[in-house]
Every structure is written in C-alpha cells, then in structure tokens.
Chains A and B, each alone.
Chain A
C-alpha cells in the first residue's frame, strides 16, 4: 500500500462483512432480486452522479481503468513466462462486492467474467463463514466448472475492504506453461476426464495478510513441471491485485466512500444501458443463424485413452435473436453431448467468450463491464458439450470447441452491420486458433520441464468488407495477439525454429481474402526425448466459414518426421527446409529423409514421442474470405501470386485470373483474358449447379439411407436426443417421419 493511504481494517469473522451489516450472500441475493424485479442494475432509475457530475464521474472511471492497465503492464514485467511476458496472456479486473465487474485492464479479457463467476461461487457457498473472507486474504482458482476456462488459466482474487466493509474485489489471471496434468503442457489432452487435468484450485484460500501461505507455494511447486514460472506468476498476479487495491484506496480518499459506492453501481447500469443502445444503433432486429463444427478424429488414435477413442463432430448451432428493445439473446439449442475428451466447456468460459467477443465487436471501447453481460442472454443446453451434466468432464482444451462456436457471432453481426450500412465494421469472422504445440520431457538444460508454445496467438484475421484480412496477427481470445520471438521460445523449448513464414493458400478466398496464417518448422535439439501434442486444430473440417460468397480459410494437417537425417544435414552444412509450403509438394519432404513420415489430416492428436532431430511442422490458420471470388481485383490476385499467398495453379481455378510469369519470375495478370475466363466461369457455374430443390431431394435420400460416416450420424442423433426443439426443426426441414433416428437405439 502506498504511503499515507488509509489501512484496511481486519474484520472479526463473526461480523458480517457486507454493507449495512448484511452478509455478502445477502448482498448478492438482493442484487439479483432487484435486477430481476426492475431490469436495472441496483434498480437505478437515474444515474445521478453521472448526470450531475459528469467530469467527476469520468475521472473516477479513468483513475480506476488507468490503475488496472498500469497493474497489468507492471505485472507483465514481473513474470518470467514467455506466455505472459511476450504474448501478454494476463489481465486484471475490479469487481463490486457481489462480483460484478466494474472495469478491466487490457489483455485476455475473456477472464473478466470468469473471475466474476468465481467470486459469486465463493459468496453463494458461504466462503464468508469458511474459510472466511478477510482483508489481506488471497484466493486462487482455476476450476472451470466454478468459473474459468481451463486449468491453465489461474486466477488470483483478493477482497478489498474499507473500514470494516468489503467494497470490492481485485482479480488477475495468467496462463501457465504447465499445470501438472497427466502429460506435460498447459492443456494436456488424450485422457478421459478431469482426473487427468492437473492441479485443481477451487477458490482455495492461498494466503492471508497479503502473503501466500508457505504450504500453498510448496503445494503448487510440487504439483507442476515448470514450477519457477508458476510461482513467479503467482507473485505477478498478486502484485497486480495489490496495485489495483491501492488505486481504489486513492479514489476513495479523493472522492469519499459514498461516492465510490454510488459510482460502481452507476457505471454498471450505464454499461447495461449503453450496450442496448449500441445494439439498436448499429444492428438490425431479427434472427440470425450461424452453426459451426469441429472434428475430434480419435477412433483409431493410439495416443489417447480407451474411452476417448471415438470420432466426434462438435455441433454448435448458434442462433442469435435481436429484439425490439435491443435485447441480445444467444442460444446453442441443439448442441450435441459432451464427451470423454478435453474439449468440453462449462458455462463460465462460454460467458467469458461472449464477453471477449463483444468487447472486440459491438462495444470496442474501454468502458466495458458486466453491464454488457446483464444486457445479454446465453442459452447453453444442459448435458451438451457447452454445459455438461457431468462435473468431472475434462476441460483442459475447451477452446477447441469454444472458438469455432463463436465464429458465428461475428458473421451474424456482419450481416446486421451490412443491413444498417456500417460496412466499415464488417468482418468475415476469425479462424480456429491452431496449431498449438505443447509438451515436455527432459529439456535442453537437462531438467524435466514442460512448455506451451503460444505463436497461435497470431492467426490470419477474416476479410473485411473493404480489404483483405490481416496476416498472422490475432486470436479471438486475446485482442493483443503476438506470436512471440522465436528466440524466446527456443530458450524455453528444446526445439529450434528452422523457419517461420506465411503459409500459402491459408487465406480463405473471396473478393477480399482472409489474412494468411503462418507455419513453423521445428527441430528437436539437445534433448533425448519429448512428448509432444498436435492440438487446437481442425483437420477434417473448416473451423470457420466465409461470408457473402467467401470461402473458409484453410483446414489443418499434421506433418511430423521421425528418425531424420537432420544431423548429417547440419554437419555437412547442406540446405535445410524452412517451410512446408505447398503440401502437395512439401519442401520438408524434398530435403529431409526420415524413417517415419507422419503426414495426415489427424490435426488434433494426443501425446506422441519425438526424439532429437525429429521435425514438427506447425501449420496455422488463415482467416475466412468475403464476397464472390470472381469479383476480386485481378491486380490483387497478381499481387498474391508475387508475394506467395496464392499458388499459381489456383489463380485460375479459384479466381478466374489468367496470369503469365515473366523472365524475372514476376506474375502479371492478363486483364482481357481474365475477363473472358471469368465470363466463361459464370456460365460454367450456371451449367453445373442444380436447383436447390433437386439438391434437397438428393440429400434427403442420403438421410433416409443414413449415408454418412459415424461421427456425422452420431452428431445428428445426439443433437436430436438432447433437444426436442432441434429435433423438430431437423425433421420438419427434411420432411422426415416422427420416429426417425440417425442411429438405432
């Protein structure tokens, strides 16, 4: 605490810590009751502080917000973990006593709401009585069923007291490199349920009097592989929380406690109102549908455990209804069942994901808080992958399902913006955030360790209405995407970067194409053996989709070489590959000889053994495209050819651009021939396409014959079993008999 600031006061455990002699639980119940009855936060009719003292009101917000950003920037430099330091995988937020967010820092703001859930969990479950909530206490949480995304994201949450009353909470979160799961890495998978997920902290009291318990630090150090990073990150988060607390005290000293209390109510109600106004300002009322899918191709995968060996297709049938009053209601009615894999998702991360998407789309400003949450609704069918009815499911890599599930939100908003004329806001959405390389073993320093590479923070973005997407620059879960320095990753991971480059054919084609993804070629070095995963990757399906005629960006693949001749290549100073490039003419395969070459669409695969000089190709994603490919400016196609985004054989088959290569290797589009070719392609389109009715008839016949592979059949059956509503919709659309089943049973 800063000099001259008023010390917080310890509270006797028998005395209620809430306002006016109430318990915290009573405060939360009252807050929820009042909101339910009035539809307004704290039942506020007027925002009197804001109306009567607007400058003062904004100044308080700026002080709190500045304190949060300052805490994040300072904390980032305390951490040693590249995930935190390089990628910025941390954020901080300030909450009301009931756990509603008031303001937040920059960073992985998906967690602003997950920490809110964790605080409310403590309140609802009488943490006030046991283990007690006192000034100086520290709580740790990484339990996604309570409030988090997965065990890798660790929360530090502290209560803030003023003269015997709790006046709020500060929270911070960082992503850990290893969580002590059954296999190394922060998001291990291949196991069946939560018992393989690693160290679990369920709003555990981790310290008091502003210090961690020694027993807590000993426990976490003993439980994880990369303990130095974990323990430093504990201090990182705690330091940030204390900075936030100090800033709150400063504001209270300047403005008085009653003004602070009034402010935190008004700013959330303002957030709620401004969200609804924003919906009416820039969107269009109606119903939007945008389903999405992801594959888990594990039926014959020896790297995963017995129960996990199934081929699964995730179904995320997103529907958004925008109502007359600016209501914004999202539903995943029809989502299929959870499974014995690590991609299940609890409601808390789904809410967090909605939150982080809203802050990057509808409400892209710093004045964001739980008011936006209160203005929306999100239906998550019980028993589905996004709201499992079994609390012991594994959730280490919830993102694998969650990311595709939310792509439809951005596409639906794009349709709304289009109708309103706000073309500058339109994006064709984002791709899946893969590939993620993680693993561990005895590393290049000779110690058992683990790592999680986060260069997947920089995927290609979706095309915009007026320009191509940005290359390798963002992830839906962190608005400040950064791939990190290769040299920094090499210091942590026993894999050298042979190359890192933009990958051709990753952008989704369209009038405007998506941004390109990267690929990295990694070689194991100075390690006998590592366990590596291929993760967060859609291989058999596209995890996203284009809009207005644009195509999805690339799907993924796995390319690993075991038992290579890289040692000889290096000793003899021969050329080595820096990229795979065109997978039909792999540059890696052209240069390297290997005893085993794993090259398939099994892009999400469990723990596999790699040895020194083995090669791991990490293929990332390009963004989806927008608009008809035949409307793309031929000069942009020419540019794509010259800059390596587009392989020459696709200039004509996709874009109808006839281009010729000059002696110096540059491509030039022939505009006249292109116009003629495009005219011909439009005719070919009309000639080879069939009326939708004929397609529906053919497809219905396939349905009646159950002419699909097992994961597709099971996806439909599971969705119908869980949701009578979706079942009725499916049967009605295809005109199927009432007793129709995709899978007998």
Chain B
C-alpha cells in the first residue's frame, strides 16, 4: 500500500505536486492513513485551535468546540453554526439574476437565461471568499450539498469513536 509523507500531501493540497506523481497516486492503492494526515495538515494551516473533525469543503471545516458542539467554520475563523443546519443559510448571497450580472462571467449567448436559471454565490461573511455557486431555477430551495454522518464514520469506519463527554 502506498504511503505519503506530510510534505507530499501538503504539495497535493497546494496544487504543487508534479502531475506524474499525482497520476501515480491516482493509480495506486489508497493509503489508509490519509484522513488523519490531511486532518493534521488542515489543523496546522488554520489560525485557530478548535479541533477539526473533518475537512468539509474548500475553506470549510466541521470543528469541535470546547463545549463539544460541532460547527461549520471557515479557515478565516468565521463560524456558520451547527453542522446539521445548512451553512449556506448563514452565509452572504449574491444572486446573478439579470443578463447584466450573468454577462460579467459569460459573454452573451454562453450564459443561462435568468428567467430559467440563476446563479447564487455563497460568500463567507468573514473573508469574502466565494465558497459555492449554485446554478438552479429561481425559487429552488437552497441545496444542502453534504450532511456527513460523523459519528458513523469515526465509530464504524475508522474504529476510533469520538469522545462526546
């Protein structure tokens, strides 16, 4: 089974690992300790101390607070609240719902028609990072991209249950 050192994985995260090495990684059997190594890399990269339970999406983590509550947190430190509630509902939103706004990204003819579909940009209130873009018809409920089953993962897949005391 392949094993990768932390520096190799840091390079992968930064997009700096040469492609032939990434390709080897893609073709090899998976390294079973990857989760914990990437967790360590995530933890060392953030300016705060809350324990990261999982990398949730680019810039976002689910962390354990000192009171054992679990929240979605941006690497800038902004917190979006309980991970079981869609973090987008606590974000800032910019909706591209006119031709003019869509044409800032796509030339006329290559974008969507705002009456059929608009773009919802979800932005971190703390740092202004664009975290997700939804392309949905107007009136569509906010999409809850991922609701992780953290306890099952730690208990049954990793065999390392989280202490919730």
Contacts and interface: CB of A to CB of B under 8 A. Distances in A.
Chains A and B form a bound pair? yes
Interface stretch (A134-142, A156-164, A253-261, A288-296): A288-296
Given A284-B54, A423-B13, A654 B137 contact: no
Contacts of A696: 89, 142
Interface stretch (A47-55, A99-107, A538-546): A538-546
Interface in B32-47: 32, 34-35, 37-39
Contacts of B135: 541-542, 545-546, 551-552
A551 B119 contact: yes
Contacts of B37: 421
Contact of B17 (A466, A554, A729): A466
Given A285-B157, A421-B37, A695-B93, A708 B136 contact: no
A322 B58 CA distance: 21
B146 A286 contact: yes
B128 interface: yes
Contacts, number: 234
Contact of B89 (A424, A692, A712): A692
Given A601-B113, A702-B139, A421 B35 contact: yes
A505 B107 contact: yes
A549 B148 contact: no
B150 to A, nearest CB: 8
A724 interface: no
B117 A293 contact: yes
A216 interface: no
Contacts of A545: 133-135
B165 interface: no
Interface string A378-415: 00000000000000000000000000000000001001
A465 B109 contact: no
A555 B105 CA distance: 12
B146 A554 contact: no
B113 A540 contact: yes
**Size class of A's contact patch?**
35 or more
A547 B145 CA distance: 10
A551 B105 contact: yes
Contacts of B144: 287, 289
B7 interface: no
B162 interface: no
- Of listed B59, B144, B157, residue having the most chain A CB within 10 A: B157
Contacts of B26: 424-425
A500 B112 CA distance: 24
Interface residues of B, number: 76
A689 B156 contact: no
Contacts of B139: 699, 702-703, 708, 712, 716
A466 B115 CA distance: 34
Contacts of A539: 113
Given A628-B129, A699-B139, A548 B57 contact: yes
Contacts of B39: 421
B13 to A, nearest CB: 6
Interface string A279-307: 01110111111110101000000000000
B116 A712 contact: yes
A591 to B, nearest CB: 18
Interface in A48-74: none
B48 interface: no
Contacts of B149: 284-287, 322, 324
Contacts of B119: 551
Nearest to B33: A421
A593 interface: no
A554 B107 CA distance: 9
A509 B106 CA distance: 9
A629 B112 CA distance: 19
B69 interface: no
B105 A288 contact: no
Contacts of A682: 127-129
A549 B107 contact: no
A715 B136 CA distance: 12
A613 interface: no
17 contacts: A284-B149, A285-B149, A287-B144, A289-B146, A290-B143, A424-B22, A467-B15, A540-B117, A542-B135, A549-B129, A551-B135, A584-B109, A628-B59, A689-B92, A691-B92, A696-B89, A699-B139
Given A421-B35, A650-B105, 18 more contacts: A285-B153, A291-B136, A412-B145, A415-B145, A416-B146, A422-B30, A465-B15, A506-B110, A540-B112, A548-B132, A551-B133, A583-B109, A599-B109, A628-B59, A686-B125, A696-B142, A716-B139, A733-B142
Interface of A: 280-282, 284-291, 293, 295, 313, 322, 324, 412, 415-416, 418-425, 465-467, 505-506, 509, 512, 539-542, 545-552, 554-555, 557, 582-584, 599, 601, 626-630, 647, 650, 653-654, 682-683, 685-686, 688-693, 695-696, 699, 702-703, 708-709, 711-712, 715-716, 729-730, 733-734
The 7 A-B pairs of least Cβ separation, nearest first, read A421-B38, A682-B128, A689-B92, A548-B58, A583-B109, A540-B116, A540-B113
